[in-house]
Amino acid sequence: MGRTGYTGFLNATTKEEAMREAYADACEFAECNVDREENHFGDYHSSFKFYDKCFDTEEEAKEFFDSLGAYQDGVCMVKHASKSAATKYQKTIARLNDKQDALSRKAIEKFQERTSETVGCKECGTRITKVQALQRNLYCPNCGNWLAAPGIKAQWIKYAQAKELAKKQYIKDTAETGKPRYWAKYEVHC
């Protein structure tokens, strides 16, 4: 079984610096994460090469490396968002997460006001006790449906869609204005 590490963006400004920095990171990662039964010294010993590709997002780079198969480690270029775009995105996501958290608390408060001792899932029909539902944060143990009131669910979905739109906008902004930087992936057997 392998354990994958991503350095994130490297400090390097040239291909050669990027390869040295990423390889050093991979060696450090291996020393901390390798299976000592299989590799007593904890050293990194995998192929490591430069891929002359530039991706718009880190997700695209991860997908590329995943498509290569196991232990195909190396460095590529990924566009890095400006600080202002990243800050704007992080603030938007944090605000929407706070709203979703408030909805979760509201759903639990409303649920606790129920007088019945059991509740039925509208998706699969499973009946569970009020206590069981609260222990599972209002998720059905059978199908995973959230047992919150329909209005609360609708608001939750609205915020989830807003997060997806924010992510798409962030990716678009990064693709259009992002500065290419070196980025690395490595994997060790553990």
Q: What is the pLDDT of residues 103-158, one digit of tens each?
A: 999 999 999 999 999 999 999 999 999 999 999 999 999 999 999 999 999 999 99
* Dihedrals phi, psi of 107, to nearest 5 degrees: -60, -40
CA separation for the pair 36, 141 (Å, rounded):
39
Domain boundaries, the chain: 2-82+177-189, 84-174
- β-partners of residue 129 are 118
Q: Residue 178: its pLDDT value, please?
A: 85
Number of Cβ within a 10 Å radius of residue 72: 18
Predicted pLDDT at 36: 61
- Among the ranges given (23-32, 47-56, 89-98, 162-171), the one the predictor scored with the smallest mean pLDDT: 23-32
pLDDT at 66: 87
* Beta-carbon contacts of residue 152 (< 8 Å; ≥ 6 apart): 103, 106, 107, 110
pLDDT digits (tens, 9 = 90+) for 38-95: 655 666 666 788 999 999 888 899 999 889 887 788 899 999 888 888 899 999 999 9
Look at the block and give the residue holding tokens 């290569």. Answer: 68
23 falls in which pLDDT band (50, 70, 90)? confident
Q: Which range, of 4-8, 27-31, 74-78, 171-175, averages the lowest pLDDT?
A: 4-8
125: left (phi over 0), alpha (psi -120 to 50) or beta: left
Q: 4: which strand partners?
A: 187
Q: What is the C-alpha to C-alpha distance for residues 157 and 163, in angstroms, rounded to an integer?
A: 10
